[in-house]
Structure 1
Amino acid sequence: MDSPRGDGVSVRCIETQAGLVIPLEPKDKETNTILFNGLTYKTLVSPHTGRIWLDRNIGAKRVATSSTDSSAYGGYYKFDEANVCPTGFSVPTEAEMTAETVGADVNNTTTAFTSFLKIPAAGSRIPNGVYDYVGFVVYMWTQTAVGFNGYYFYSSDIRAHFAISDTDYNFSVRCIKD
């Protein structure tokens, strides 16, 4: 019996709108702008994973111009408050953050800043309200919970890795597109 299906034929589907082809992946490094809480963020495409990220920490006035750029630190959030991303974005998982940092040769605060994410050393705000290691260390929440604690990205002048923290500490947040 003859089949109406062709052998050796492949089909590629693309999304269209009113006859216009809409690219499924952005072609430019800076792809879009998003107005959120009174600030305009741009989106960036990761050269490592192709995922889309906001160009700076939530609450930051600008993209970091150095690892100690205080206008780029953004807000400090407890783990339970860290889901502060705009609609369509979320706090990255530990695996998503690993792929863009330690999995992509980010091994200290210098390489955290020179990465495409331009991560500043914002330090943290500890539970008693005191700011700690500002300008020296990166503390950035992931959405990954470990029991009653949260997983975060840490970077100092000598190393970068992931660790577990009490959820009452206040760290920076960066958002990735869902």
Structure 2
Amino acid sequence: MHNGLQYSTVTNPTTHAKWLDRNLGASQVAISRTDELSFGDLYQWGRGTDGHEKRTSATTTTLSDTDTPGHGDFIITDAAPNDWRDSQNDSLWQGVDGINNPCPAGYRIPSAAEFRSWNVSGIYDAFNSLLKIPTVGSRYNSGASSGSFSANMWCNNFVDTYAQYFSVATTSSIVASERASGYSVRCIKHEESATSVSLDKANADMHIDEELQLTATVLPENASCKVVTWSSSNESVATVDVTGNVTAHSEGTAIITATTVDGGHTEQCEVTVTPPMSGTSVRCLKD
């Protein structure tokens, strides 16, 4: 439950990241591209949930000299750099603990790269995706509203005096806009990224038909995803299963690689396979 609304999550099939199933402020998941109950609120970049995000909020031309204006008016301006804040603050909305993060606990504003990872090509594709993105329109820094023919969702990125947003219409792209503009917010669950992987062996000698269990350690310890995939450079010499268990098949050398699903970090073990040891017979001679 967040601000009186119950949200669920959807999982990105490419990155496995969890996203809210609807825009902040939406009472339901979109059942059509023009479903008004799924539109949600329109935030100015970097502002918290203070009432300004409501589509019918009043407007004011008085810029804020703090990160929290202390009112729920939508701040309009036509003077560069077109920010609701008198002096810009690039630290807003940066991460799960970022200033004014409007997302539920444990969630944050996505990056441009995270939006791109959905690979949606336009508004029809976006609605048919798991995100069920509706055409919600936007609110300009002048306070005027655009029609419901596109979807625009804030990223946490900024470029110079502008902030970036994910724009979906006939195509999809990352665009820069005035920070006083009002766009949708779709939150992503904060995940502690994997930074490295290590193996308990760098080299191993095996005989044909022997098995060896390799163990992968993913750091940091609190990484959200510690899943690794395994591969062999020469499966005729040695194969490895999904658990890291290596089986030797023929004489030669194979490189066993563990790769983190999160981040693609790798570590390798060189396996050298030799023929099985020959049995030794003992012959006793009688005096």
Match runs of 1:135-150 below 5 Å: 136-150=149-163
Which of 75, 96, 108 is the equivalent residue of 1:90? 108
Which of 109, 125, 147 is the equivalent residue of 1:133? 147
TM-score computed with the length of structure 2 as normaliser: 0.47
Runs (4 or more) in structure 1 with deviation over 6 Å come to: none
- CA distance in 1 between counterparts of 2:125 and 2:147 reads 18
Aligned-residue CA RMSD (Å): 1.1
* 5+ residue gaps, structure 1: 1-34
- CA distance in 1 between counterparts of 2:163 and 2:177 reads 5
Matched, 1:47 2:59: no
Quote the residue 1:173 is aligned against.
185
Matched, 1:164 2:130: no
Question: Alpha-carbon deviations, 1:47-94, whole Å to 9, x = none?
Answer: 121001111000001000111111101000011126310110001011
Quote the residue 1:3 is aligned against.
none
Which of 32, 40, 53 is the equivalent residue of 1:74? 40
Give the letter aligned to residue 45 of structure 2. F
Quote the residue 1:152 is aligned against.
165
- CA distance in 1 between counterparts of 2:144 and 2:106 reads 32
Per-residue deviation, 1:128: 2.5
- CA distance in 2 between counterparts of 1:66 and 1:48 reads 24
Quote the residue 1:63 is aligned against.
29
Q: Secondary structure at the match of 2:183?
A: coil
Per-residue deviation, 1:148: 1.5
Q: Secondary structure at the match of 1:36?
A: coil
Give the letter aligned to residue 114 of structure 1. N
Q: Secondary structure at the match of 1:59?
A: coil
- CA distance in 1 between counterparts of 2:38 and 2:171 reads 21
Quote the residue 1:6 is aligned against.
none
Give the letter aligned to residue 184 of structure 2. S
Larger Rg: 2
- CA distance in 2 between counterparts of 1:138 and 1:167 reads 17
Quote the residue 2:2 is aligned against.
36
Give the letter aligned to residue 89 of structure 1. Y
Give the letter aligned to residue 110 of structure 2. P
Quote the residue 1:124 is aligned against.
138
Question: Alpha-carbon deviations, 1:10-58, whole Å to 9, x = none?
Answer: xxxxxxxxxxxxxxxxxxxxxxxxx000000001111121001111000
Aligned length: 138
Give the letter aligned to residue 133 of structure 1. G
Per-residue deviation, 1:147: 1.4
* 5+ residue gaps, structure 2: 49-100, 191-287
Q: What's the % identity of the aligned pairs?
A: 38
- CA distance in 2 between counterparts of 1:159 and 1:54 reads 22
- CA distance in 1 between counterparts of 2:105 and 2:161 reads 26
- CA distance in 2 between counterparts of 1:161 and 1:67 reads 18
